[in-house]
Structure 1
Amino acid sequence: MYKICVFSTIYSYRWVKKCENIKIDNINLQIYIYDDLSHLEKLFLEKVKTYDGVIFSGQIPYLHIQKQLNEYFSTIPCAFFDITERDFYYKIAEIQYKYPDFSFKHCIIDFLYKENNYLSLKDILLPEDFPYILGDSIDVFGLPNAYEVVYEAHAKLWEEQRIRFSLTRLTNLYTYFEDDNIQPILVTPTFDSMQITILEIMKEIEVVNLMNSQVVAGYLEFSMSQNDPAEIEYRQIALYKSILDFNRKLGTSLITYRSAIHYELITNYSDFLLITNNQQKCSLAEFLREQLSFKVKIGWGIGKTLQEARIQAEKAATYCTGSLTESYILTKENHLIGPLDGDTSIAMKDFDNDKLEEIAKNTNLSLLHLQKIYGLVYKLKKESLTAEELSVHLSISVRTASRILKRLEEFNYASPVSNNVTRAKGRPSKLYKLDL
């Protein structure tokens, strides 16, 4: 059973509540009402750990949480109820029937932007007949004062007598016009489009669950300066005890197998992310450094099968060449991550955080994600990545990684390049050359 929560204002609840009547197997839907955006932040932080997915009633709350709480936003599938072309043209037919003098060039439509292809209206109308819009990008809804910006855009056009109709997605916009005798026309998602959104987020949840069900193996090998049976036995016992103590401390359940001078661990992907702090810092390595007087090589392997994960883990351990206990990861795509020392941004001479902040502002992407991507490029010594590679290293879905790369491409911070590596099945993964 997938648990999905829906965040709505009291104004939007009038149409959002229709989603409670949507009958989809394995879905448990709960609606929460928020008073303002600060209240929404508190609710989101409270619910994000207990639900599998989140749906927002519109663009403003979605973009606000994406911007303000991105580190939590990116850990769970999120979406917002959007207006489809079918919803839009159904409403336009209704408006034209009710108002025979309706014309597009004498109205403002605040939910048209390039991200939804202007609902194909640009393909139908001549430029001189196109309606007024807020701007070419959905980003305007992510501004801190988005409600005021939308209202002022409508009010200015009314004041200048350029329009006779206001089409809006904001259910509370009418409250801004109460003293002006202006009644905006509200356009909301239909029952069918809400059902489509719920089904889409259900698919994203299934993808996340599939990732979490990947097999992860650990390979722990302790160092031996000489072939001393008594010392080997001591180190075996000491390491095994430390693994048990670590399990109790963190609350994980690492399945442990003992061999001559190494141990094998088996765990699930979600526990692995917990142990490695989303593949950034290995808490097991830290714990063993404190508990043991000898070095331990820790390799983590991710695979589709247990055998594949074990092979990757043993390979990863060979990269532990330092003098202290350290940890590396080798994914099923043979991508090496490590050492997991927590320094994800890496001390790089040419690291320009001001530049990344500028890119974050231009693209509306998370600065933390950009820093991780930059650190990843530096660490792997490769400038080109696929969405699949990015998803593994950032612990996000492939779909989200693809959106990030496409967003960077849109602003000329990434460009698609020829990918000569093909997969056994399906199309080759699209490769992007990054320019950060």
Structure 2
Amino acid sequence: MYKINVFTAKRSLSWVQQLEKIKPSFCEFHYYAYTDFEHLNELLEKYLEGGDGALFSGQIPYFYAQTHFQEATVPMHYFDISERDFYRTVTELFYEKKIAMNRIAIDFCYEENGYLGIHEWSIGKKPYLFSQTMSEYASSDIVDKAAEWHLQLHKENKVDLSFTRIAEIRERLADQNIPFIAFYPSQYAMQLTLDHFLNQLRIRQLNQNKVVVVHILIPIDKSNIEDLEYRQIALYKTILDFKQLYASSFIVHREASFIAIITTYKQFLSTTNRYSHCHLVDFLNEKLSFPVRIGWGIGDSLIESQEFAKKAATLCSSKETQGYIIENSREIGPLLYGTMLQFDDEKQQHLKNLSTTYDIPLLQLQKIEAMLEKLTTTIVSGELLSTHLGITVRSANRILKQLHEKNLAHELPSNTSTTRGRPKKYYQIHLY
């Protein structure tokens, strides 16, 4: 059963409730009618996230929700006028009332709905359009702007008739004796929107029901059985504490050198802050006295997810608690303690280009980029790189030398030191 919250202007409630005539047996609609934006805001705060999805009577409440509730995770959609609805009315006006298209003002034709096809046949006799794009509806004074636009066109005798979808301006137009036709979606158009929206909900539900596997590896010398046993018990207890504290839907399986967790995609999104930050990394880093490697695997089957999780765990450093995600062919990470991962396709594409151009492993570049972001500096030494990448100092210095040779880093002048030995080298890395 889907619970869908429907937000509508009070004046539009009567036609919106036509949904009851086409409601599938597996849907439950809850209607919330607002009188103004302040009231709409109150309703959205209380009920927007309280269902499986949200439908809106039109562009105005939809864009208000998109603008003021950007953190909302529920799917949203709005009802619009179909070309079939539009031309049924327009045809009658042309042939019965002889009204010319260029004498009409329309506030619901824009690029996003293809201008309802009017540009294809109204050459030389185009109607007046309120906006070329739907983004205009995101403004908080949209009702006043649209009303003034209609009134001004009639005052200047540029139009004879207004088409409007905005329920809030109908009384204003009527008070000024402005001839208008109020459009609202037909039951047919509402059915199309509802079908599309339910498909969105089904796809989302399938994704949320995907099985996700977490492979948590204890980096330890297996010859030291006593230490291994202590760490395995400590890790198991800490995971159970995390599960209880965050009410996580985890199935925990314990092995000698690792612990496997089976969970849902929905739980994965919550625990990893939608791919950007792993709360499990933070918790284990704070509670354990030793580092662990956390691999998340997301595949099309349990077996595939398990394989991805094991591989993701091997990508992590052995010197600090980290997390990595492998979803099909995509590797995301590292997820570090106290750090938000700004994963965006443009940045990853840039790193891929560097990897190809300079023959440097992509994973190495990703780790370096994440380390620089965590440290909020581009100046590092071999020792620092060694700690954060989980490699030897010798290997770290070799990487820095390669970056220097390929003009992705430059060596900084050494500070004069009174201590014995070779002075420490620092490099400034510039991947961008």
Deviations 1:188-221 (A, max 9, x none): 1001111111111100001111111111111111
Tell me, yes or no, if the aligned pair for 2:249 and 2:264 is still in contact at 8 Å: no
Instruction: Give the gaps of 5 or more residues in structure 2.
Output: 356-431
Q: Which residue of 2 aligns with 1:406?
A: none
Name the residue aligned to 2:33: 33
8 Å contact 1:106–1:164 — kept in the other structure?
A: yes
Match of 1:104 among 92, 95, 101: 101
Distance 2:350 2:290 in 1: 31
Whole-Å separation in 1 of the counterparts to 2:266 and 2:167: 39
The aligned counterpart of 2:127 is: 131
Q: Which SS does the other structure have where 1:335 is aligned?
A: strand
Larger Cα-atom Rg: 2
Aligned to 1:216: 212
In 2, the alpha carbon distance for the partners of 1:297 and 1:235 equals 13
1:267 maps to which of 257, 263, 278: 263
Quick one: which of 301, 306, 309 aligns to 1:313?
Answer: 309
CA displacement, residues 80-105 of structure 1 (integer Å, 9 cap, x when unaligned): 100000010112234456x6132211
Structure 2 match to 1:422: none
Q: Distance in 2 between matches of 1:345 and 1:283?
A: 12
Counterpart CA distance in 2 for 1:55 and 1:233 is: 54
Cα displacement (A) at 1:45: 2.8
Amino acid at match of 2:98: D
What's the CA shift string for 1:151-199, capped at 9, x where partnerless?
1211111111111101111122122234422232101100111111111
Shift of 1:374: 5.1
Opposite residue 97 of structure 2, the aligned amino acid is: P
**What is the total number of aligned residue pairs between the two structures?**
356
State which drifts further: 169-178 or 213-222: 169-178
Length-normalised TM-score, structure 2: 0.77
Structure 1: stretches of 5+ with no match in the other structure: 347-370, 384-435
Which structure 2 residues correspond to residues 19-418 of structure 1 after superposition, within 5 A? 19-72=19-72, 75-96=73-94, 100-126=97-123, 128-225=124-221, 227-321=223-317, 323-341=319-337, 343-344=339-340, 372-373=344-345, 377=349
Secondary structure at 1:280 match in 2: coil
2:91 aligned partner, one-letter code: A
Shift of 1:9: 0.9
Q: Secondary structure at the match of 1:189?
A: coil
Partners of 2:276 and 2:338 in 1: how far apart?
5
**Please, what TM-score do these two structures have when normalized by structure 1?**
0.77
Larger relative contact order, structure 1 or 2 (CA cutoff 8 Å, min sep 6): 1
Q: CA–CA distance in 1 between the matches of 2:352 and 2:286?
A: 29
* Alignment partners' CA distance in 1, 2:16 and 2:98: 31
Alpha-carbon distance between aligned partners in 1 of 2:67 and 2:94, rounded to the nearest angstrom: 38
Label 1:148 to 1:198 Cα distance change in 2 as closer, same or farther (>3 A): same
Bigger drift between 138-147 and 332-341 goes to: 332-341
Structure 1 residue 225: deviation in Å?
Answer: 4.4
Cα deviation, 1:265-289, whole Å, max 9, x if unaligned, reads 1111111111111111111111111
Give per-residue Cα distances to partners, 1:303-337, cap 9 Å, x unaligned: 11111011100110111115211111111233333
Alpha-carbon distance in structure 2 between the residues aligned to 1:95 and 1:115: 25
Which amino acid is 1:65 matched to?
Answer: A
Residue identity matched to 2:125? D
Deviation at 1:135? 2.4
- Three-state SS of the structure 1 residue aligned to 2:116 is helix
Tell me which residue corresponds to 1:7.
Answer: 7
SS at match of 2:17: helix
Give the C-alpha shift of residue 223 in structure 1: 2.1
Cα distance in structure 1, aligned partners of 2:286 and 2:304 = 31
Instruction: Quote the Cα distance in structure 1 between the aligned partners of 2:113 and 2:337.
Output: 42
Q: Tell me the distance in 2 between the aligned counterparts of 1:341 and 1:380.
A: 25
Question: What code does the residue aligned with 1:59 have?
Answer: Q
| CA distance 1:171–1:373, shift in 2 (3 Å) | same
Tell me the SS of whatever aligns to 1:71: coil
Do the aligned residues in 2 keep the contact of 1:299 with 1:328 (CA within 8 Å)? yes
Secondary structure of the residue that 1:11 maps to in structure 2?
helix
